[in-house]
Amino acid sequence: MKKNILTGVLVVGLMAFSAGASAATVTVGGNIWMPYTGDAGSDHPGYCVEILKAVFEAAGYEVKYQSEPLARVSADVLAGRIDVMASADKGDCPGCYFPSRSIGDELNAFYVRKDDPWKYRGVASLKDVRLGVINGYSYDNGVLDEYIKNAGMPAVQSASGNEALQTNISKLMAGRLDTIAVNDDVMRNSLGQPALVNAGLVSAGNLGDAEELYPAFAPDNPLSGKYKQIWDEGIEKLRLSGKLKEILARYNLVDWAASR
């Protein structure tokens, strides 16, 4: 009897230890930037979030995702309050650790009211318009970012918070901005929503070259090197298994690597 009790205690203890050992958590942050990242409570939290969950859960981790404004996500990952920023170009999170394998790409564009003939023809073409941007966002890691940094109000107007894009769209529709700079996939996703189907906004040009996006890992986290390796190996396994294609299809997207 005592032996059976002792055996039972050992089994329960081993089960508890096993559960604890498998409960390591990777915390992920992202802003409302569909189709990349979205609301943490949604069944479509963004394809980047779903891919990260698939990669790290396959490696034995629990993944917890939180949505917050972009500038806060960047600050949180740099301070080590979260483990990874779900998607970033290398200008969005200077100092973060970036893996070798990307999580997507982006093409930044300019949108105007459909009756406005203005077209983007380089930074010089911005001098006579009011440009809407999003706080903490890097657009080209070059001359456009420099212009945004130095132009000041009212030439450049920066919106913050999880509704930053909606703020800029509303100001553009109301005539308080002349153009907004925005990820083209994100804008097309937004214009597909019922409230904006008849918004009357059109593309006025883009920056020409798509930039790769990556998960950005916390620089001072001793596990970041391991996480980068898990990511680089895991994304390729997802690609080979067909799971990546399945996740992207939920967002009407195709593999960014295959589309290059």
Give the model confidence (pLDDT) of 105-123 as tens digits.
Answer: 999 999 999 999 999 999 9
Q: How far apart are CA 214 and CA 194, in angstroms?
A: 30
- The two three-digit tokens of residue 245, written as one number: 């294609």
Q: How far apart are CA 98 and CA 217, in angstroms?
A: 6
Could you give the 3-state DSSP secondary structure of residue 25?
strand
Say if residue 144's pLDDT is above 90. yes
Same fold, 23-104+212-249 and 108-206: yes
Q: Which of 141, 120, 140, 142 is nearest to 131 (CA)?
A: 120
Q: What is the pLDDT of residue 197?
A: 67
What CATH number is given for 108-206 in this structure? 3.40.190.10
Local confidence band at 259 (pLDDT 50, 70, 90 cut-offs): low
Burial class (CB in 10 A: 0-12, 13-18, 19+), 10: exposed
Q: What is the pLDDT of residues 12-23, one digit of tens each?
A: 343 433 333 445
Q: What is the pLDDT of residue 199?
A: 81
Contacts of 47 (CB under 8 A, 6+ apart): 35, 36, 104, 247, 248, 250, 251, 253
Q: How far apart are CA 74 and CA 82, in angstroms?
A: 9
- Rg (C-alpha) for the chain, rounded Å, is 22
- The two three-digit tokens of residue 189, written as one number: 């996703």
Q: What is the pLDDT of residues 34-69, one digit of tens each?
A: 999 999 999 999 999 999 999 999 999 999 999 999
Q: Please, what CATH class does the domain formed by 23-104+212-249 belong to?
A: alpha beta
Taken in order 186, 187, 191, 196, the sign of the CA dihedral is positive
Residues in the chain: 260
User: Looking at per-residue confidence, does 90 or 227 come out higher?
Assistant: 227
Q: What is the pLDDT of residue 118?
A: 97
Domain borders along the chain are: 23-104+212-249, 108-206
Say if residue 2's pLDDT is above 80. no
Q: What is the pLDDT of residue 193?
A: 77
Predicted model pTM: 0.81
